[in-house]
Structure 1
Amino acid sequence: MADDGVRATDTAPSGFLERRFELTARGTDSRTEILAGATTFLTMAYIILVNPAILGQAGMPVAAVAAATCLAAGLASIMMGFAANMPLALAPGMGLNAYFSFSVVQAMGIPWQIALACVFISGIAFLLLTFAGIRQMIIAAIPQHLFAAVAGGIGLFIGFIGLKNAGIVVSDPATSVGLGNLREPAAALALFGLALVGALSVWKVRGAILIGILATTLVGWGLGLVTFTPEPYDLTAISQTAFQLDFAGVFGLSGSHGLGLFEILFVFLFVDLFDNIGTLVGVAKRAGLIGPDGRIPKLNRILFTDSIATMLGALAGTSTVTSYVESAAGVQAGGRTGLTAVVTGILFLLAMFVAPYAQLVPLAATAPALIIVGALMMAPLVDVPWDDPEAALPAFLTVVMIPLTFSIANGLAFGITAYALLKLLRGKITKTDWLLLLLALLFVARFIWLSGG
């Protein structure tokens, strides 16, 4: 019997990756995880170009921000993979980078060095909230049907982004949105990619999304639809933003700037907190990593990593680093462990050397992946009891407000507030719901604050 035991052990998967990431226990293997990591990277690679373009309008050196973006995304994603073993990639957040440039630097007239220091301070605040268990308590206060609604809302959000990037859906002054010109090269290329990825997915081809992205990119090159105009770039340029934080300037703000500091920290904290929670819940739900009791494995490690990532990003020279909804593309490609995030992070670090070449993969090539993933993320919505208004209305508001306001935080805000209000009106509020009520009041205060701005 001893011999049998030895043979059984010898035939079991072994090696560092198996031990570190528990591949077999999560029903995956290293090849699948590597493909998933590459898929996530390709759907996120646009940030290498977009983030410098946005922060550049705050007066920050574009080349330096490109390097800082790759470095922050790379280190944060690798850290998430090893520390929390989750297929969750991180990078400077869209929306928060626009707030950094347009509201903080341009509108308030605050130098970007001081704004970076504010980002760092918000990361410390996140860390303290996590140490105190407050972020964990917030997640525990969210009912399970809203978890499902967040996942569905993120699906619509991702799909909408894909349709928008492809030019299939465009803005329309009369109806807000409308159908784009499908004969436009980008839209036609995206539709080709959508058909290809859809067919490969139906045939259950491994790596269908990654294959679709690469094949669509090749077709785009062949038809001359990809324009490549690289900017002058030098990796050493990162020194122009790295460690340029002005803490003395933060604490020296006075008058209207003093009030502005409160607003800056509030927005950085609030939006990142609930964007991160929403993304975490949605991606974990899609990956099947949320337990029957609603618990997310290694939650503390995930939240600590997120906090530290924001501080690392600020030190490198970029706005708030947060979890990316595009991680769902890697999950759909089979990613179930932190190895997916590690691969994504390594590719971001490699991209530091060739950052301008990210534009060789057009948005029209990654758009089909986002659309497919968006469709498949609708599955958790079956967990919402739609025949119960107390659950259905908050869930519906969560689902629709995420894509319609382009904010996961706004969707959660509407859903939680509506849920708390309905419980209160029905007289079902108990002492254990104190945090739910507090969250609802904070959301209402936030809406009043933002409306008055």
Structure 2
Amino acid sequence: MTTQTATTLDGAEAAPAGRLDRRFALTARGTTVRTEVLAGVTTFLTMAYIVLVNPAILGSAGMPVASVAAATCFAAAFASILMGCVANTPLALAPGMGLNAYFSFTVVQQMGVPWQVALGCVFISGVAFLLLTLTGVRQLIVNSIPPYLFAAVAGGIGLFIGFIGLKSAGIVVANPATFVALGDFKAPGAALALFGLVVIGALSVWKVRGAILVGIVATTLVGWMAGMVTVNPEPYSLAALTGTAFQLDLGGVFGLSGKHGLGLVEVLFVFLFVDLFDNIGTLVAVTKRAGLMDAAGRIPRLNRILVTDAVATMVGSMAGTSTVTSYVESAAGVQEGGRTGLTAIVTGVLFLATMFVAPYVQVIPLAATAPALIIVGGLMLLPLTEVEWEDPLAAIPAFLTVAMIPLTFSIANGLAFGITAHVLLKIARGTITRKDGFVLVLALLFVARFVWMGGA
């Protein structure tokens, strides 16, 4: 009897094939268990910053930080393991950057929606995403939105996140004459944040794995030594993890009225469509790099991937965190050779282990997480290179989308300006067709929104 062996991408002989090989098609994709494990660890290290950053953002909305940290770990673990088992794709998931900022700063703080009700909105958006995927409407939506707007939304969210980081760090402050101004670098918080920014930036250019996580920890240690961080250790208790679990208020969602009546539609739209746009962009980037696209440029098992994402968002909202989405940092694991769902499962298991120390992340100062927001925001600008800036039909809507998201503190406003401008310019050029029917309806809804709400 002969023993089947696999060969890795670099030609090295792999371990004998077995149950894992058959389940995840390791040999067929030119990888091994060892390679997949290393890839999963790499992906985890590049994503682990979310365990610190997400609680800092959602905590500003009044949510219990320790509970959000635990919910973040649980949601990332559940979603990543589910992705690996159902779709066999090296794609890890976690609460998405940008949507967590929208959840906290726009929905809760600006609109005055209780965070429990906001979690209910996230759950409903996940249900809507699932229905759109199962009915095939998702493909209609994707085909109707011009690709350059996907890139513009990603870039605008990047600026949004970066601006929040600069504001949280005290590097940028409010000014009655100019709206914003440079902060006082002599202030302890701003100085510590600048130190963290230098550390994370240096580690990033040196291509150190987990640079953001290492930078946050290093900045926190410096803050402790400088006496800028007050640590009040509390007994560890699993009860502390339940502060957000099953706290979503679905009844409150359907009971929103008055100034929140139309706002509910907006909130659901942003949670749904930004998640959709973010997923498509991430899927294309990661699967293309992994060589998993078919000859026609299509993503295998796309429906399974999107169904997983929708279910993950629903479960995440019940655990107590904002929308869960695919992470482009998964490309780091792919770079290390990850080609199957085993990579995602390893990442998920590591997030699960992290959950049991999650309550202690509240000792991380805001000045330590703010640099991570700035760096992540900058990295999210890469998709803007896909916009044809020499073509006004693309450049004008893209610019309005990118600019309006951070300047109005609203992803919805950026989407509204971008899609409306796209439709108006196509009408002006005389190139509007029946295929643009769906995006035309979206533009009309946005115009009605501005008229109804007066641009608020």
State whether TM-score is above 0.5.
Answer: yes
Cα deviation, residue 416, structure 1: 1.7
Alignment partner of 2:134 out of 117, 125, 131: 131
Moved more, 118-127 or 422-431: 118-127
* CA drift at 1:392: 0.8
Determine the structure 1 residue equivalent to 2:368.
365
Distance of 2:128 and 2:448 partners within structure 1? 20
1:46 paired to 2:48: no
Q: Structure 2 vs 1, CA of residues 351 and 11 (structure 1 numbering), >3 Å: closer, same or farther?
A: closer
Q: What is the distance in 2 between the residues matched to 1:7 and 1:302? A: 26
Residues 348 and 166 of structure 1: is their aligned pair in 2 closer, same or farther, counting only changes over 3 Å? Answer: farther
> Could you say if the C-alpha distance between residues 343 and 363 of structure 1 is closer, same or farther in structure 2, counting changes exceeding 3 Å?
farther
Task: State the AA in 1 paired with 2:387.
Answer: V
- Contact kept? 2:72, 2:95, Cα under 8 Å: no
Gaps of 5+ in 2: none
Instruction: Indicate whether 1:176 and 2:179 are aligned.
Output: yes
Tell me the residue number matched to 1:90: 95
Matches of 1:212 and 1:245, distance apart in 2: 33
1:323 is matched with: 325
3-state SS of 1:95 partner? helix
Tell me which moved more, 145-154 or 336-345: 336-345
Deviations 1:121-170 (A, max 9, x none): 44333322222222332222222222332333233233223322322122
Distance in 1, Cα, partners of 2:196 & 2:110:
37
Task: Find the aligned partners of 1:111 and 1:87 in 2 and give their Cα distance.
Answer: 26
CA–CA distance in structure 2, aligned partners of residues 285 and 371 of structure 1: 25
Amino acid at match of 1:54: A
Aligned-pair CA distance for 1:194: 2.5
**Residues 359, 263 of structure 1: alpha-carbon distance in 2 compared, 3 angstrom cutoff:** same
Is 1:76 equivalent to 2:75 in the alignment?
Answer: no
TM-aligned CA distance change 1:350 to 1:205, over 3 Å: closer
Q: Judge which range, 187-196 or 73-82, deviates more.
A: 73-82
Equivalents in 2 of 1:339, 1:407: separation in Å? 37
Structure 1 position 396, deviation (Å): 0.7
Paired residue type of 1:90: P
* Cα contact 1:148–1:380 (8 A) shared by 2: yes
Q: How does 1:178-257 map to 2 (within 5 A)?
A: 178-229=181-232, 234-236=237-239, 242-243=245-246
Label 1:111 to 1:165 Cα distance change in 2 as closer, same or farther (>3 A). closer
Q: Is residue 308 from structure 1 mapped to residue 311 from structure 2 by the alignment?
A: yes
Q: Measure, in 2, the Cα distance between the counterparts of 1:405 and 1:329.
A: 28
The offset of 1:438, in angstroms, is 1.8
TM-score normalised to structure 1 length: 0.76
Displacement after TM superposition at 1:52 (Å)? 5.4
2:12 counterpart residue number = 11
Q: Which amino acid aligns with 2:323?
A: V
* Distance change >3 Å, CA 226–CA 393, structure 1 → 2: same
CA deviation map 1:220-273 (0-9, x unaligned): 33223322235677423666765567778888x6xxx67789647524421201
The CA deviation at 1:390 is 1.1
Deviates more, 1:389-398 or 1:185-194: 185-194
One-letter amino acid of the counterpart of residue 125, structure 1:
A
1:321 positional shift = 2.8
The more displaced of 307-316 and 134-143 is 307-316
Distance verdict in 2 for CA 1:23–1:35, change over 3 Å:
farther
Which residue number corresponds to residue 422 of structure 1? 425
Letter in 1 for 2:12: T
Give the whole-Å Cα distance in 2 for the aligned partners of 1:376 and 1:111: 28
CA distance 1:282–1:225, change in 2 (3 Å): farther
Where structure 1 has 5 or more consecutive residues not aligned to the other structure, the ranges are: none
1:153 to 152, 156, 175: 156
- Cα RMSD for the two superposed structures: 4.3
Q: Which residue of 2 aligns with 1:280?
A: 279
Given that 2:7 and 2:14 are in contact with CA atoms closer than 8 Å, whether structure 1 keeps it comes out as no
Q: Residues 407, 102 of structure 1: CA spacing in aligned structure 2 closer, same or farther, 3 A cutoff?
A: closer
1:406 to 392, 406, 409: 409
Q: Do 1:49 and 1:356's aligned partners in 2 also have CA atoms closer than 8 Å?
A: no
Cα separation, 1, equivalents of 2:432 and 2:260: 35
Taking the aligned partners of 1:398 and 1:55, their CA distance within structure 2 comes to 29
The CA distance in 2 between the partners of 1:245 and 1:378, in whole Å, is 33
Distance change in 2, residues 1:175/1:217 (3 Å): same
Tell me the distance in 2 between the aligned counterparts of 1:186 and 1:332: 31
For the 8 Å contact 2:80–2:345, the answer to whether it is kept is: yes
Distance 1:7 1:77 in 2: 25
8 Å Cα contact 2:71/2:316 also seen in 1: yes
Residue aligning to 2:378: 375
Q: Displacement, 1:412? A: 2.5
SS across alignment from 1:89: strand
**How far apart, in 1, do the equivalents of 2:428 and 2:150 lie?**
22
